[in-house]
């Protein structure tokens, strides 16, 4: 079984770091957040893949949770980042080496207080259907 999620994560980070508007709103994009990282930042919190049964081709459903962390007093900063992510990703294009992304959509989003009410976290659930070339 191919681990398509690694290729998807690399392509996603490349797409997001290449967007000047998003990068003006976050300090960095992390897989694992280094200690003492200054918010706001975006973290790829969770990623998973599932094989989709199909005759004659290899298909996967890749699910990801993206989180934006901020120390702002309200939700505005987190929601502004989530809005930009929605514009970039929902039914957007993603170039993944060795694969074709057939569908990419945002399936949900939310925003809440976190870490003893000292930070705000916005989250977005992203789903992709990916086929092997």
Crossing angle of helices 4-17 and 76-89, in 10° steps, is 110
Q: What is the pLDDT of residues 42-60, one digit of tens each?
A: 999 999 999 998 888 999 9
Query: Does residue 116 surpass a pLDDT of 80?
Result: no
How many CB atoms are closer than 10 A to CB 72?
A: 13
Per-residue pLDDT at 103 exceeds 60: yes
The whole domain housing 32 covers 4-132
User: Which segment of 34-43, 79-88, 109-118 scores lowest on mean pLDDT?
Assistant: 109-118
Helix boundaries (H) for the chain? 4-17, 20-25, 76-89
Report the chain's mean pLDDT, rounded to a whole number. 94
Cis peptide before 40 (omega within 30 of 0): yes
* CATH code of the domain covering residue 127: 3.30.2000.30
Report helix, strand or coil for 45: strand
Whether 1 has a pLDDT exceeding 60, the answer reads no
Which three-class secondary structure state does DSSP give residue 43?
A: strand
What is residue 55's predicted lDDT score, i.e. its pLDDT?
83
Average pLDDT value for residue range 25-49:
95
Domain total for the chain? Answer: 1
Residue 78 · residue 111 · CB < 8 Å: yes
Which pTM value belongs to this model? Answer: 0.91
Cβ 23 vs Cβ 89: under 8 Å: no
| Distance from chain centroid for Cα 124 | 7
The pLDDT of residue 41 is 97
Q: Is the pLDDT of residue 28 over 70?
A: yes
């Amino acid at each position: 079984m191919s681990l398509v999620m690694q290729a998807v994560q690399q392509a996603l980070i490349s797409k997001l770091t290449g967007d000047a508007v998003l990068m003006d709103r976050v300090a960095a994009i992390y897989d694992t957040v280094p200690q003492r990282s200054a918010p706001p930042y975006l973290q790829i919190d969770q990623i998973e893949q599932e094989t989709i049964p199909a005759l004659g081709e290899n298909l996967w459903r890749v699910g990801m949770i993206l989180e934006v962390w901020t120390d702002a007093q309200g939700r505005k900063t987190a929601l502004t980042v989530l809005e930009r992510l929605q514009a970039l990703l929902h039914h957007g294009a993603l170039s993944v080496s060795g694969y074709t992304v057939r569908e990419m959509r945002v399936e949900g989003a939310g925003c809440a207080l976190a870490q003893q009410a000292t930070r705000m976290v916005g989250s977005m659930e992203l789903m992709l259907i990916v086929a092997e070339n």
